[in-house]
């Protein structure tokens, strides 16, 4: 079976022609990864580990997995910082790099913080809607960055500022949850209690997730990129 290869076309040039399919090496995707890409995957692994630790905590009621879930997210942040540094140091770029980074960040700084909020007691129906909104804002913010980063870059190719807060800023929320857990202010002891609003319950503290999500998708809020 033949595949279609597209030759450079201009006025008077031929149309695409068929060529034999080149044999593909096993694990070619992995071979295309750079060192920075593997570090980015470490970010995704840390975020996924945090979510799994949260689920273990909910099943076992053992506090240790919850603390492991908290601890894995700062590790994800360090790896998120290192991957770009390593890429610039080695002068290696990957066509997968930006996509890997966004997908990893959506897990570590979107889904995992939302799972931690649920674990410490934000389990009402309105809470769930706010947490879904937060994750959706984080994913949207990452997609917008990928789509607009070229337009926002200066002559050196560096992005000058973020539109909206970067998604790793969600670790501030995680820090609040960790402090509440340390002082025993979770579940029924959560600050501001719980409100019954119509068919669902709302923990007012979950509104910090709504504010964080809204800040991430803000068009007017510009954060200088260091």
Per-residue pLDDT tens over the stretch 200-214: 999 999 999 999 999
For residue 129, give Cα distances in angstroms to 58, 104, 126, 136, 202: 20, 23, 5, 10, 10
Of the two residues 16 and 156, the one the predictor is more confident about is 156
Place of tokens 């926002």: 152
Of the two residues 62 and 32, the one the predictor is more confident about is 62
Structural domains of the chain, ranges and CATH numbers in brackets = 33-224 (1.20.120)
Q: What is the pLDDT of residues 109-164, one digit of tens each?
A: 999 999 999 999 999 999 999 999 999 999 999 998 888 876 666 555 566 677 88
Q: What is the pLDDT of residues 92-108, one digit of tens each?
A: 666 677 788 999 999 99
- Residue 195, pLDDT > 90, answer yes
The set of residues, in sequence order, having a beta carbon less than 8 Å from that of 134 and lying 6+ positions away, is: 110, 113, 114, 170, 209, 210, 212, 213
Q: What is the pLDDT of residue 80?
A: 92
Q: What is the pLDDT of residue 7?
A: 40
- Residue 25, pLDDT > 50, answer yes
Helix axes 207-216, 171-182, angle to 10 degrees: 160
What is the model's pTM? Answer: 0.82
Retrieve residue 108's tokens: 């570590």
Q: What is the pLDDT of residue 11?
A: 46
SS3 string of the chain?
Answer: CEEEECCCCCCCCCCCEEEECCCCCCCHHHHHCCHHHHHHHHHHHHHHHHHHHHHHHHHHCCHHHHHHHHHHHHHHHHHHHHHHHHHHHHCCCCCCHHHHHHHHHHHHHHHHHHHHHHHHCCCCHHHHHHHHHHHHHHHHHHHHHHHHHHHHECCCCCECEEECCCHHHHHHHHHHHHHHHHCCCCHHHCCCCCEEECCEEECHHHHHHHHHHHHHCCCCCEEECC
Q: Are 41 and 100 in contact (CB under 8 A)?
A: yes
């Amino acid at each position: 079976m033949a595949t279609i290869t597209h030759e450079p076309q201009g006025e008077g040039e031929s149309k695409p022609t068929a060529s034999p399919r080149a044999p593909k090496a096993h694990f070619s995707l992995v071979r295309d990864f750079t060192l920075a890409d593997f570090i980015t995957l470490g970010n995704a692994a840390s975020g996924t580990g945090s979510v799994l630790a949260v689920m273990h905590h909910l099943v076992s009621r053992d506090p240790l997995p919850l603390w492991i879930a908290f601890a894995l997210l700062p590790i994800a942040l360090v790896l998120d910082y290192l991957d770009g540094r390593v890429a610039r140091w080695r002068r290696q770029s990957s066509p997968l790099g930006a996509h890997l980074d966004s997908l990893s960040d959506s897990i570590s700084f979107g889904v995992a913080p939302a799972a931690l909020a649920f674990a410490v007691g934000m389990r009402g129906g309105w809470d769930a809607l706010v947490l879904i909104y937060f994750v959706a804002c984080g994913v949207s913010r990452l997609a917008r960055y990928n789509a607009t980063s070229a337009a926002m870059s200066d002559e050196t190719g560096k992005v000058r500022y973020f539109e909206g807060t970067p998604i790793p800023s969600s670790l501030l929320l995680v820090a609040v949850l960790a402090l509440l857990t340390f002082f025993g202010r979770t579940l029924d002891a959560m600050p501001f209690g719980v409100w019954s609003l119509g068919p669902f319950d709302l923990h007012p503290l979950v509104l910090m997730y709504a504010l964080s999500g809204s800040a991430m998708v803000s068009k007017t809020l510009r954060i200088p990129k260091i």
